[in-house]
Structure 1
Amino acid sequence: MDIFVLYKEDYPWDVRIEKIAKSLRDRGHNVTIVARNLSGNSPVAESDGLPIIRLPVIGAANSLVRKLANVPIWFNPFWIRTLNAAISGSENPVIIVRDLPLVKTALSVAKSRNVKVVLDMAEVYPYMYASARMFSKGLNLETLAKSPSMAARYESKVLPKVDHTLVMIEESQDRVLNKGIDPGKVTIVSNTPPATKFSGTAHQHQGRNLRLVYVGFLTKLRGLDLLIKAASAYVKMGNEPSSLKIDIVGKGSERENLINLVKELNLEQSVTVHGWLEHEQVDQLMAQANVGALTYRVCPHWNHTIPNKIFDYMLAGLPVLATEVKPIERIINETKSGLVCRDNDVRDIAEKLQILRSPETRATLGANGVSAVQSKYNWANDERRLHAVIDSLENQVKFR
């Protein structure tokens, strides 16, 4: 089949988009990514063997005209025209829409054509917007546009109209089913890694020094300030600053605040806030680490999605240090692959760090994580579910 992955950001790169696109391509489908073009790249390109069709280059770089032309809102004519042109030569295309904003765009294009539309619900937008508002600095134009109530109404209108919905985790599936959506039209395709992602010997846990790693965006919701404050509490418990090293990798609105917090608490010896690093550098830090950190603030958004990093940590043999976010807590407790801390409790995080000083504890938790990913939480299993969805849609088209 001709499959078009509609992505509201610039591409490359996104790990989930890449996994889905390559998996379907390797299955024999013709896969094209239709993406934003805020960077002003060539409207027609290729990345790692995947064709890309981008929005046209409108206006100068960083101009308001360019930004408005790329806004991922369903009635934006540039998105509608680009998607229409992309699928124009296909008889029975499938559009996989990454996340909520452009679903109605796909549905409007699909109206006059024989098109199947699949929503890839990587994020639950009403909850994501509501959770972001919890830590925003008052209402502004952006937060007003990202209205949780408007997103909920929009979602309620489009969910019954799409042919299938992919969700990330059981909690998200339950939420969609509670809205009355046919269970046969909802499938979990999670954000798991290939079981071969970290080839080689299992991580060897030795010594009582701790080296934590966090890789991802740096926002208030991700609770990295809690982790840094816990590092200070850990040192005050009598541990040498040199016995703890935390590498925080990523970009985002909280980066400068985190750097300042490290200085304020005199933790330069223990905590490094990096910028965004290349994959090879991240892999090096993962190899040097002996704990993976996910001290997110508990909120409805995190309770209905799952970060791919939990599975990366597990597969790398790193015990996971996390807060009681529902899907993360459930997976850690099920697999016995880490320790769960109380939400917003700096002292509890520090006490869990004390427990993880034991190399035997880290080795046991790490080995449990590796086993769980190799047997269950890996892309081969999620890929099978993805293929089953597309096969079902293909059969519907054939026997119409």
Structure 2
Amino acid sequence: MKVFLVYKEDYPWDVRVEKLALALSEAGHAVTVIANNHNKLAESDTQGNINIKRLPQIKWLPTRILKLIFMPVWFNFFWLNTLLKQSKGSSQAVFLIRDLPLLKAGLLCAKLRSGNVILDMAEVYPEMYASSQQFSNKSIFQRILKSPYLAQRYENATLPDADHILVMIEESRDRLLKKKLDENKISIVSNTPPINKYLGKTHIHKGSKLHIVYVGFLTRLRGLDLLIQGVNEFLNLGYDKSEIQVDLIGKGAERDSLIKLIHDLNLDECITVHGWLAQDRVDELLANANVGALTYRVCGHWNHTIPNKIFDYMLAGLPVLTTPVIPICRIIESTNCGLICDDNKPDFTIAKNLEKLRDPAFRKKLGTNGQNAVLERYNWEKDKNVLLSVFEALEADISASGTSQTSESSASQ
């Protein structure tokens, strides 16, 4: 089948988009990624057998203006024109829409092309917008543009028209079932790593020194200030700064405030904010770490999705340190691969859990449990099979529909 994977951000690079595109291409489907173009890259590109088509390359416009005119909303001319242009002549195409904002654009194009639409619901937008407003200071324009109420109405109006919906986690699926959506049209394709991602790089736990790593965006929702305060509390228990090292890897709106907090607490010696790093360097820091941190703020957003880093930590053999986010806790409790901090006293319980994790034998036990869970269950090989089965079923339905129409046409002659 011809698959148009529509991604609202620039590409490359996004790990999930890449995994989806590669899996479908390797299964024999003709895959085109249609992406944004804030970085003013070439409008046409390739990645192996995958075609990449971007919004127009407008070099003379400032990036901030491009972000405005290329805004991923369903009625945006640039998105509709690009989707229709790239899918021209492709009857019965499949539009795989990454995330809610462009779903209606995909539905309109699919109708014109006699195609089908699959939504990849990596984020639950009404919950994400509500959580963002709860923990961030948004302008009036941003609050209107990213209104949880409007996102909920848009979602309710469009989801029933999708031919299938991919969700990240059981909690997201259950939310859709409460909306009375057909359970046969919903599949869990999680954000898991391939089994061989860290082949030969598993951490060997030894010594009592803690080396904690976090990889991801630096936003208030990620709760990195809770981790920093927890480290400070850990030192207040009587431990020396030489006994703990924290590497925060990523970029985001909270970067400066986190650096200030680290400086104010006099923790510069043991906590480093690296910024965004190349994947090889990230893998190196993961291999040298002995604890993976996910001290997210508990909210509706995190309770309906799952960060890919939990599985990366587990596969790398790192025990996971987390706050009581529902999907993360469910995985940790069922596999015994980490420790959960109390949301009411995060700094104190983070410190007490760090104290427990000084024991290398305990870290090894949790890390081994997590690694085994990924090898047996939480891996891309299993999720890829679910993805491919969705497309196989859709292809069978299209074929059966075509056969039925042919038979009806012959009977009428």
For the criterion TM > 0.5, the same-fold answer is yes
Q: How does 1:8-19 map onto structure 2 within 5 Å?
A: 8-19=8-19
After TM superposition, where is structure 1 displaced by more than 4 Å over at least 4 residues in a row?
Answer: none
- Deviation of the 1:341 alpha carbon: 0.6
SS in 2 for 1:114: coil
- Confirm or deny that 1:38 pairs with 2:38: yes
Letter in 2 for 1:259: I
- Deviation of the 1:138 alpha carbon: 4.7
Deviations 1:156-201 (A, max 9, x none): 0011000000000000000011101101000000000001100016
Distance of aligned partners of 1:197 and 1:111 in 2 relative to their CA distance in 1, 3 Å threshold: same
- Deviation of the 1:135 alpha carbon: 1.7
Deviations 1:129-165 (A, max 9, x none): 0000012225332232100000000000011000000
Q: How does 1:138-177 map onto structure 2 within 5 Å?
A: 138-177=138-177
Deviations 1:60-113 (A, max 9, x none): 342554233211010111101100011112222101000000000001111222
Q: Name the CA distance, whole Å, in 2 between partners of 1:283 and 1:28.
A: 31
Q: Name the CA distance, whole Å, in 1 between partners of 2:244 and 2:23.
A: 40
Q: Are the equivalent residues in 1 in contact too, given 2:247–2:273 (CA < 8 A)?
A: yes
Letter in 2 for 1:137: N
- Deviation of the 1:55 alpha carbon: 0.8
TM-score normalised per structure 2: 0.95
Q: Could you tell which deviates more after superposition, 246-255 or 48-57?
A: 48-57
Q: Are the equivalent residues in 1 in contact too, given 2:7–2:35 (CA < 8 A)?
A: yes
Alignment correspondent of 1:75: 75
SS in 2 for 1:277: coil
Q: How does 1:1-400 map onto structure 2 within 5 Å?
A: 1-58=1-58, 60-62=60-62, 65-200=65-200, 202-343=202-343, 345-400=346-401
SS in 2 for 1:127: helix
Q: Name the CA distance, whole Å, in 2 between partners of 1:64 and 1:321.
A: 37
Q: Name the CA distance, whole Å, in 2 between partners of 1:291 and 1:104.
A: 42
Q: Name the CA distance, whole Å, in 2 between partners of 1:200 and 1:59.
A: 44
Q: Are the equivalent residues in 1 in contact too, given 2:245–2:270 (CA < 8 A)?
A: yes
Q: Could you tell which deviates more after superposition, 383-392 or 140-149?
A: 140-149
Q: Are the equivalent residues in 2 in contact too, given 1:192–1:311 (CA < 8 A)?
A: yes
Q: Name the CA distance, whole Å, in 2 between partners of 1:202 and 1:142.
A: 43
Q: Are the equivalent residues in 1 in contact too, given 2:39–2:63 (CA < 8 A)?
A: no
Which runs of 5 or more residues in structure 2 are unaligned?
Answer: 402-413
Q: Name the CA distance, whole Å, in 2 between partners of 1:317 and 1:80.
A: 45
TM-score normalised per structure 1: 0.98
Q: Are the equivalent residues in 2 in contact too, given 1:57–1:66 (CA < 8 A)?
A: no
Which runs of 5 or more residues in structure 1 are unaligned?
Answer: none
Give the greater-gyration-radius structure (CA): 2
Percent sequence identity is 52
Q: Are the equivalent residues in 2 in contact too, given 1:39–1:61 (CA < 8 A)?
A: no
Aligned pairs, how many?
A: 400
Deviations 1:273-329 (A, max 9, x none): 111000011011001100000000000000000000000000000000001000000
Deviations 1:198-238 (A, max 9, x none): 00164211011000000000000100000001111101101
Q: Name the CA distance, whole Å, in 1 between partners of 2:264 and 2:65.
A: 41
SS in 2 for 1:191: coil
Alignment correspondent of 2:409: none
Distance of aligned partners of 1:71 and 1:281 in 2 relative to their CA distance in 1, 3 Å threshold: same
SS in 1 for 2:100: coil
Q: Name the CA distance, whole Å, in 2 between partners of 1:59 and 1:141.
A: 27
Deviations 1:323-351 (A, max 9, x none): 10000000000000000111252101100
Q: Could you tell which deviates more after superposition, 236-245 or 41-50?
A: 41-50
Letter in 1 for 2:287: A
Aligned alpha-carbon RMSD (Å): 1.1
Q: Name the CA distance, whole Å, in 1 between partners of 2:385 and 2:392.
A: 10
Q: Are the equivalent residues in 2 in contact too, given 1:59–1:66 (CA < 8 A)?
A: no
Q: Name the CA distance, whole Å, in 2 between partners of 1:36 and 1:63.
A: 12
Q: Name the CA distance, whole Å, in 2 between partners of 1:67 and 1:38.
A: 6
Q: Are the equivalent residues in 2 in contact too, given 1:247–1:273 (CA < 8 A)?
A: yes
